[in-house]
Chain A
Amino acid sequence: MNASDTKMTDISEIKRPRRWHILVFLLPALIVYTAVMILPLIETLRQSFFNTVEGHYTFVGLSNFKVLFGDPRWAADFWNALKNNFIFFLIHMVVQNPIGIALAAMLSIPKLRFSAFYRTAIFLPTLLSFVIVGFIWKLILSPIWGVAPFLLDTVGLKWLFAPWLGKPDTALIAVSLISVWQYIGIPMMLIYAALLNIPDEVIEAAELDGVTGWSQFWKIKLPLILPAIGIVSILTFVGNFNAFDLIYTVQGALAGPDKSTDILGTLLYRTFFGFQLQLGDRSMGATIAAIMFLIILAGVSLYLFVIQRRMRRYQF
């Protein structure tokens, strides 16, 4: 029975006519994806090697990159944006992910009452647009309205208040924390899901061995959710090095004060489209996009080929 079965399929595989329906199923997605995403991406990368020299659009090799890294008109802005982008990412990693893990750990306590409510409420900001989030926090932190100083006063910390968004040395931290507030739901949910996937037997075995509470979390659960923390980290990385909207909404295209909140996304926007007196520059825009592409590619490769492979996975 079985043998004849395989024989049948063998024959049909040889004689099968061209299966056009596979192409029909694949084609629409393939066309849109290739035409609107992949080709423009390649074309943008290609344009980073071209520039207008004496009125002619020609191949210039790596000179756009040299200008970006070394030319006094570009380099200061570029290195500033790159540095800020790394700080932006570090603040997310240090604040957003630990708080997300802590919230997930608390939510996953079995039979916790109202946990569905907490979960739903804490995830809400993640769904709001940057425009809403940016303006709400701009209003709250505004010294004119006085909500933030008033709240700090009620806990006796009024002296702490300053117009954070308006001062060059605090603006980047303030904007990063707003972004953390918005996105905390994602690490929380992903890690919450990972915690729920830990089988009860593992926890019971730990409890029988007297490993409970904090030490149970550190010694048993944390190692088991490391793959989820890896995913959260790479998602944070890609999101942060591609960020633009929140800074544009809160601080404008100039990423003020004094470019202290400028990151690669806002630099790309200003370079490509121009702003106020500065004219848009297509080639340099493409060059910055190429740098962002390389940074993201490096991060994703590091994650896929190094971190993910070394991570021990447990099968239940």
Chain B
Amino acid sequence: MSKARASLGRTAGVHIALIAYTLIALFPVFLTIANSFKSRNAIFREPLALPTPETFSLIGYQTVLKQGDFLGYFQNSTIVTVVSIALVLLFGAMAAFALSEYRFRGNALMGLYLALGIMIPIRLGTVAILQGMVATGLVNTLTALILVYTAQGLPLAVFILSEFMRTVSDDLKNAGRIDGLSEYAIFFRLVLPLVRPAMATVAVFTMIPIWNDLWFPLILAPAETTKTVTLGSQIFIGQFVTNWNAVLSALSLAIFPVLVLYVIFSRQLIRGITAGAVK
């Protein structure tokens, strides 16, 4: 009896601790979004209140949409992220297939070479990357960012995908070979569809650092026409420091797509981390 009560007490304690931390995690995001819909006076008078009909205002969003080219930034970020992910998935899956399917001389060495980039950050080569981009005339183009992010995403993609491809049954592939399928057809028609869940995990993992990166857009593509959302909001907010409505609205606009994607993909993401990462 007392034991049951003790465990009830413990469960309550756990819930209190978890709720407390959840509040710490969500409060700043809530505060930003709630205040972005309020008038300037209300933001300062009662920062913690939700917007009411009297204090509701969209002035911040109007400033943001008028002053900054946020639609353009969104478009740039989307192009860079989508193309990079597509290339990472295609090239990564191809390399992973070669490494996991065929035995050839230097296989293990190749795997190790491609895995180097998991631990060594690509940023350390920035000095020479910038020189290379200047030499090839790619500075201030989205291509420069796409190339860098593809290279950055490949090592982890190859690593995860080759682990998964080892689990695809050999019988299936050999049956395909007997039916006269080429190695390319076996890869594209038999193996790729089977590793789709792993591809989704890789896509989510690859997407977050690309979308959020500030370093490479700042260095390789700071021009107005190639700014990404992250760089765009950084610069916009820097210029409008004193306009709190605009700052809060810009932040909310930057949070919004992440929030939507997270709501859609959170299961996939969490399953990916909890299944593949620690083995």
Q: How many residue pairs at the A-B interface have CB separations less than 8 Å?
A: 247
- Docked CA distance A248–B184 (Å): 46
If the complex has contacts A44-B125, A121-B26, A194-B278, are A29 and B258 also in contact, measured as CB distance less than 8 A?
no
Q: Is the beta-carbon distance between A40 and B132 smaller than 8 angstroms?
A: yes
Taking CB atoms, residues of chain A closer than 8 Å to B187 are 25
Tell which of A32, A112, A147, A249 has the most Cβ of chain B within 10 Å: A32
Using CB atoms, name the residue of chain B closest to A145. B47
- The distance from the CB of A206 to the nearest CB of chain B, in whole angstroms, is 16
- How does the 8 Å CB contact mask read for A1-36 relative to B, with 1 for contact and 0 for none? 000000000000000000101101110111011011
Residues of chain B contacted by A107 (CB below 8 angstroms)? 18
Interface string of A243-284 (1 = CB under 8 A from B): 011001100000000000000010010001100000000100
Using known A-B contacts A19-B102, A41-B124, A289-B125, determine if residue A131 contacts B119 with beta carbons closer than 8 Å: no
- Name which residue of chain B comes closest to A121, CB basis: B22
Is A201 at the interface (CB under 8 A from chain B)?
A: no
Flag whether A62 is at the interface (Cβ < 8 A): no
Residue from A109, A122, A139, A238 whose CB has the most chain B CB atoms within 10 Å? A139
Are A37 and B212 in contact, CB atoms less than 8 angstroms apart? no
Whether B22 contacts A136 by the Cβ 8 Å rule is no
Q: Pick the contact of A29: B14, B18, B114 (CB < 8 A).
A: B114
B148 within 8 A of A: yes
Task: Name A282's closest neighbour in chain B (CB-CB).
Answer: B127
For A106, the chain B residues whose CB sits under 8 A away are 14, 17-18
The proximity string for A residues 282-316 relative to B, scoring 1 for CB distances below 8 Å and 0 otherwise, is: 10011001001100110010000000000000000
In the complex where A19-B104, A136-B28, A245-B215 touch, is A150 in contact with B266 (Cβ < 8 A)?
no
Give chain B residues whose Cβ lies under 8 Å from the Cβ of A268: 126
Interface bits B258-279 vs A (CB < 8 Å: 1, else 0): 1100100010011001110110
The interface residues of chain A lying within 8 Å CB-to-CB of B79 are none
State the CA gap A242–B213 with chains docked (Å): 13
Q: In this assembly, does B92 line the interface, its C-beta being within 8 Å of a C-beta of chain A?
A: yes
Whether a CB of chain A sits under 8 angstroms from the CB of B152 is yes
Task: Determine the residue in chain A with the shortest Cβ distance to B6.
Answer: A213
Contact B119 A238 (CB under 8 A): yes
Q: By the criterion CB–CB under 8 Å, are A103 and B114 in contact?
A: no
Closest to A241 in B: B121
Residue of A nearest to B204 (CB): A127
Quote the shortest CB–CB distance from A162 to chain B (angstroms): 19
On chain B, which size bracket covers the interface? 35 or more
Q: Which one, A63-71, A81-89, A185-193, is touching chain B?
A: A185-193
B168 CB within 8 Å of chain A: no
When the two chains form their complex, are residues B119 and A22 in contact, meaning their CB atoms are under 8 A apart? no
Question: For residue A184, which residues in chain B have a CB less than 8 angstroms away from its CB?
Answer: 25
B24 touches A181 (CB 8 A): yes
Q: Is the CB of B14 within 8 A of A193?
A: no
B151 touches A32 (CB 8 A): yes
Identify which of A133, A139, A146, A293 contacts B120 (C-beta below 8 A): A293
Is residue B195 contacting chain A, with contact meaning CB distance below 8 A? no
Q: How far is the CA of A32 from the CA of B132 in the complex (A)?
A: 13
Is the CB of A228 closer than 8 A to any CB of chain B? yes
Q: Is A217 an interface residue (CB 8 A)?
A: no
Check: B192 CB closer than 8 A to any chain A CB: no
Is B70 part of the contact surface with A, judged by Cβ < 8 Å? Answer: no
- Residue B147 at the chain A interface, CB threshold 8 Å: yes
Chain B proximity of A252: nearest CB distance (Å) = 9
> Which B residues are CB-close (under 8 A) to A192?
274
* Contact across chains for A44 and B44 when beta carbons are under 8 A apart: no
CB atoms of B154 and A249 under 8 A apart: no
Q: Once the chains bind, are B22 and A118 in contact (CB under 8 Å)?
A: yes
Which residues of B from 201 to 220 have beta carbons under 8 Å from A?
208, 211-215, 219
| Cβ-defined partner of B148 (8 Å) among A36, A119, A282 | A36
B21-53 interface (Cβ within 8 A of A)? 21-22, 24-26, 28-29, 31-32, 43-44, 47-48
14 A-B interface contacts by CB (under 8 A): A24-B184, A25-B98, A26-B99, A33-B155, A43-B125, A106-B18, A114-B18, A122-B25, A127-B212, A130-B214, A135-B237, A190-B273, A192-B274, A193-B278
With A32-B147, A121-B22, A189-B277 known, 8 other A-B pairs at CB within 8 A are A25-B94, A26-B95, A36-B148, A120-B262, A131-B212, A227-B278, A245-B214, A268-B126
Interface residues of B (CB under 8 A from A): 10-11, 14-15, 17-19, 21-22, 24-26, 28-29, 31-32, 43-44, 47-48, 87, 90-92, 94-95, 97-99, 102, 104, 110, 114, 116-117, 119-129, 131-132, 147-148, 150-152, 154-155, 158, 182-184, 187, 208, 211-215, 219, 230, 233-234, 237, 244, 247-248, 251, 254-255, 258-259, 262, 266, 269-270, 273-275, 277-278
